Amino acid sequence: MPTIGRRKGALEQEVLAALAAAGRPLTAAEVLADLGDGLAYTTVMTTLSRLHAKGALTRRHSGRAYAYALHGGDAASVGASVTAHRMHRLLEAGSDRAGVLARFVEELPPEDEQLLADLLAAATRAGEQA
Amino acid sequence: MTLGLGVWGGTGMDAAMWLPLAVSALFWLLAAPVGRRLPPATAVRALTAAMVATALATGFVLAAAALLVLGQAPPVAALGEWSATALATGDPVPLALGGLAAVTVAGLGAAVLRRVVHTVRDLLRSARACRALGPAVAGLVVVEDDAPEAFALPGLTGRVVVSTAMLRALPADERRVLLAHEAAHLRHRHHLYMIVAELAASANPLLRPAARVVGRSVERWADEVAAVEVGDRPLAARALVRAGLARAAAQRTAPALALSGVDGDLVDRTRALLTAPAPRRPLLAGLVAALVVLTGAAVLVTAHGTEDRFEAAQTVYAAQP
């Protein structure tokens, strides 16, 4: 299957997601190691600088390189908990199929869990063959 | 097709009036299998368009039947300057059936209005939430939270909201699938299809299963877009499963989490990604389109027949001394 490549803004999103998942400041090399996928170091570096320029990231020196972190991403800050609360309220209000919220995955019945675990194994095998 | 409306001078109006209802019944029965067989993007577009046409047509023929009966009431006839007796002669709509049509069309009209109000309120809430979540670089809002969540929030620009727990649950390549999936919802304006499908189902409850199919197909559509973007279907399937299992694990520790009951959908979506993409099936899509055209023709025939009837009654009225 052909890859159409990244859509506009996708790499920025992926870099933000990588930093959020790590939960600690990362250097460009660390972000590159996480994302992998044939990216060039300079591409990651450029994306990090751009995100920093937009005010989405903070950075500090870590040895000879910069380590980047999400702006205000230090856990348990007041702003973060307010946002989380807001998110839950939104999810509770929007669960009426209006199409206003489209979740990646919905709740699943317990009996589906084993089925999904089996499918994950199948997907992993299929990925290895591909 | 002779359930009581009679045949008016061979206009075929009788059959035409029942046709939108027959097509609705067909959608009730066949929306799910049709949705499964078509590629998801085609299913969403074809079904939504067909639902709008069918809902409008059903509303129209019900209103016409109601009008032909209400028009026989002397005060209404006097106001419209047509002969009540002339309207009632021949093979008219039985009073009971016309009354039923009037009640139904009023009830469904109210349901549509209520749905519109709800939708507007939801959209406003969504737009407000977009603003409240603050500025989002690249349209992504990361929320510090232990519940694995990811969703698209439509608005003027739209936001993708992902919790840190969800991001931590997935490796980088699967995070890419998730982000591509949510971006696809926003880029292809999936919420609009869902809103329109819900409105059509409010106007015609026989279309309710079709609305559910649209909802499911929208998710499948975003899955397919994500799979193409990462160029790896098994990878897309793995992302779905891992996200689903992460949610299931979080539910066990926090069962109070918001519930929105969707049937074993995730299993179907995963299976679909583990097989080849659906073929295009232009014949099936053409069949749905043909039903829409047929429904449109039925509306025209009904409109023409009703107009003829009222015109004839007006001629009689004018000829009266």
The DSSP secondary structure of B177-218, one letter per residue, reads: HHHHHHHHHHHTTHHHHHHHHHHHHHH-GGGHHHHHHHHHHH
Q: What is the mean pLDDT of the segment spanning B235-240?
A: 94
Helix (H) or strand (E) holding B125: helix B95-132
Q: Which of B6-15, B68-77, B151-160, B170-179 has the highest mean pLDDT?
A: B170-179
Q: Are B256 and A28 in contact (CB under 8 A)?
A: no
DSSP class of residue A71 equals T
- pLDDT confidence of residue B26: 94
Amino acid type, A84 = A
Best-predicted range by mean pLDDT (B128-142, B146-160, B225-239, B245-259) = B225-239
Report which of A85, A51, A36 is spatially closest to residue B139, judged by C-alpha positions.
A51
Residue B128: closest CA among chain A residues belongs to which residue?
A90
Residue B99 is which amino acid? G
Residue B188 CA neighbour count, 13 Å, CB half: 26
The answer to whether B293 and A128 are in contact (CB under 8 A) is: no
Confidence category of residue B5, pLDDT binned at 50, 70, 90: very low
Mean pLDDT of B258-268: 57
Quick one: pLDDT at residue B132? Answer: 77
pLDDT digits (tens, 9 = 90+) for B210-236: 999 999 999 999 999 999 999 999 999
| A9-23, A42-56, B91-105: least confident range | B91-105
B132 touches chain A (CB under 8 A): yes
Residues in chain B closer than 8 A to A98 (CB atoms)? 118-119, 122, 194-195, 198
Question: What is the nearest CA distance from A77 to chain B, expressed in angstroms?
Answer: 9
B277 Cβ neighbours under 8 A, 6+ residues apart = B39, B224
Among A68, A104, A107, which would you mutate to test the B interface (most chain B Cβ atoms within 10 Å of its Cβ)? A104
Residue pointed to by tokens 């049709």: B34
CB A119 within 8 A of CB B168: no
The tokens of A13 are what?
A: 């999103």
B281: left (phi over 0), alpha (psi -120 to 50) or beta: left
Residue B4, pLDDT score: 40
**Main-chain dihedrals φ then ψ at residue A113, nearest 5 degrees:** -60, -50
Check A105 against B150: CB less than 8 A apart: yes
Instruction: Provide CB contacts within 8 A for B47, sequence distance 6+.
Output: B31, B34, B35, B197, B210, B213, B214, B217, B288
Does the beta-carbon distance from B191 to A100 stay under 8 Å? yes
Q: Which amino acid is at B197?
A: A
Select from B178, B228, B234 the Cβ nearest to the Cβ of A130. Answer: B234
Paired residues of B163 in beta bridges? B143
Where along chain B do its domains lie? 13-316
Does A124 contact B274 at a Cβ distance shorter than 8 Å?
A: no
Domains of chain A (ranges; CATH) run 10-70 (1.10.10.10), 78-129 (no CATH)
Write out the two tokens for B202.
Answer: 């409010």
Tell me whether A113 touches chain B (CB under 8 Å): yes
> Residue B120 and residue B315: Cα distance in Å, rounded?
46
Partner residue facing A100 (CB), from B122, B147, B187: B122
What is the C-alpha separation between A17 and A32, in angstroms, rounded? 13
- Tell if the CB–CB gap between A7 and B183 is shorter than 8 Å: yes
- Find, in chain A, the residue whose alpha carbon is nearest to that of B218: A102
pLDDT band at B32 (very low <50, low <70, confident <90, very high): very high
Contact of B167 with chain A, judged by CB distance below 8 Å, is answered with yes
C-alpha A35/C-alpha B114 separation (Å) is 47
Residues 37-66 of B with CB under 8 A from A: none
Q: A with B: how many residue pairs have Cβ under 8 Å apart?
A: 252
Check CB contact under 8 Å for A102 and B258.
Answer: no
Q: What is the mean pLDDT of chain A?
A: 80
A44 has a chain B CB within 8 A of its CB: no
Q: What is the pTM of this model?
A: 0.87
B272-311 residue pLDDT tens:
999 999 898 999 999 999 999 999 999 999 999 899 889 9
Interface test with A, best of B51, B176, B212 (most A CBs within 10 A): B176
Of B133, B139, B270, the CB nearest to A116: B270
At B144-200, the pLDDT tens digits run 888 898 988 887 778 898 999 999 999 999 999 999 999 999 999 999 999 999 999
B194 and chain A in contact, CB less than 8 A: yes
Contact list in A for residue B248 (CB cut-off 8 A) is 107-108, 110, 113, 116
Q: How confident is the model at residue B97 (pLDDT cuts 50, 70, 90)?
A: confident
Three-state DSSP at B210 gives helix
CB atoms within 10 A of CB B313: 24
Residue B6 above 50 pLDDT? Answer: no
Q: Where are the alpha helices (DSSP H) in chain A?
A: 10-22, 28-35, 41-53, 78-93, 110-129
Number of Cβ within a 10 Å radius of residue A122: 17
Written as one letter, the residue type at B166 is M
The per-residue pLDDT for range A59-101, each reduced to its tens digit, is 999 888 999 998 765 444 445 566 777 777 777 765 554 556 7
